[in-house]
Amino acid sequence: MVRDKKVVVVLPAFNAAKTLEQTYREIPDDIVDEVILVDDRSEDTTLEIARKLGITQVISHSENKGYGGNQKSCYDAALSRKADIIIMVHPDYQYTPKLIHSMVYLIANGVYPVVLGSRILGRGALRGGMPLWRYYANRALTLAQNLIMKEKLSEYHTGYRAYSAEVLQQINYHHNSNDFVFDNQIIAQIFYHGFRIAEITCPTTYHDEASSITLPRSIRYGFGVLATAFAYRLQRCRIARFRIFNHE
């Protein structure tokens, strides 16, 4: 615990057998109280390895629910276990858990309620091997989102995030997509409800085992990102209302 706050790490897993143990071993047990893994119907031995490692809670989906659907199960489980601070780490080892200390203390000390690990700050993305087309697509989408939403983040697309429980309790993440655009919708919800977001420089590693999406799904994701940004702006201007921004 940190300042009497329970810290829980959630691992949304899908075919992460080759990298799960490495990721898990780097999670700092001096401040992390529990680790929850949700397996989204993996086709490899992710589930068996998770149980062998002694992870606090292992949840197995009976059917594949998608990346967003996996996160919903992760956050539901963390909140049900009375977590005060929830950190999402991808078990494909694209992001190192060694930054958990920094992320947790920003929240525990009341500085920010949300912390993102940015691959763009410090050029960590290119140094870590992010493909150039993905890097420039990331930058273009982020620029568009900042302009439309009138915010200023270096990256909206990172999968390394820490939240206070208060944030997850006040936004209705269950209304979000079960696909990859979930990540952008939750950021829009956070801004809409008036929470501030911090970013820290995050090194990243791209390798054969790191999760990735195909080009067609990337294009669909891009349109989903822009749709989310415009929905945010329209609701802010009271021109239209969208379900994801409602409390109910």
**How many C-beta atoms surround the C-beta of residue 163 within 10 A?**
28
**How many C-beta atoms surround the C-beta of residue 198 within 10 A?**
17
pLDDT digits (tens, 9 = 90+) for 218-244: 899 999 999 999 999 999 999 999 999
Our count of domains for the chain comes to 1
Q: Tell me the C-alpha distance between 246 and 45, whole Å.
A: 39
Contact between residue 205 and residue 94 where contact means Cβ atoms under 8 Å apart: yes
CATH code where residue 220 lies: 3.90.550.10
122 within some domain: yes
218 within some domain: yes
39 within some domain: yes
Give the model's pLDDT for residue 206: 78
Range of the domain at 171: 7-245
146 within some domain: yes
**How many C-beta atoms surround the C-beta of residue 74 within 10 A?**
22
**How many C-beta atoms surround the C-beta of residue 243 within 10 A?**
10
pLDDT of 133 strictly over 90:
no
Q: How confident is the model at residue 207 (pLDDT cuts 50, 70, 90)?
A: low
Contact between residue 151 and residue 145 where contact means Cβ atoms under 8 Å apart: yes
User: Which of the residue ranges 44-53, 114-123, 183-192 would you say has the lowest mean pLDDT?
Assistant: 114-123
Q: In terms of DSSP bridges, do strands 85-88 and 161-164 run parallel, antiparallel, or are they unpaired?
A: antiparallel
144 within some domain: yes
pLDDT of 135 strictly over 60:
yes
Q: How confident is the model at residue 217 (pLDDT cuts 50, 70, 90)?
A: confident
Give the model's pLDDT for residue 205: 83
The share of the chain scoring above pLDDT 70, in percent, equals: 97
pLDDT digits (tens, 9 = 90+) for 153-206: 999 999 999 999 999 999 999 999 999 999 999 999 999 999 999 999 998 887
- Helix ranges, the chain (H): 20-25, 46-53, 66-80, 100-108, 124-127, 132-149, 165-170, 182-192, 215-236
Give the model's pLDDT for residue 204: 85
Q: Tell me the C-alpha distance between 158 and 112, whole Å.
A: 17
User: Which of the residue ranges 94-98, 166-170, 209-213 would you say has the lowest mean pLDDT?
Assistant: 209-213
Stretch 41-46: mean pLDDT: 96
Give the model's pLDDT for residue 216: 83
2 within some domain: no
55 within some domain: yes
Give the model's pLDDT for residue 236: 96
66 within some domain: yes
pLDDT of 213 strictly over 90:
no
Mean predicted lDDT score pLDDT of the chain: 94
pLDDT digits (tens, 9 = 90+) for 7-40: 999 999 999 999 999 999 999 999 999 999 999 9
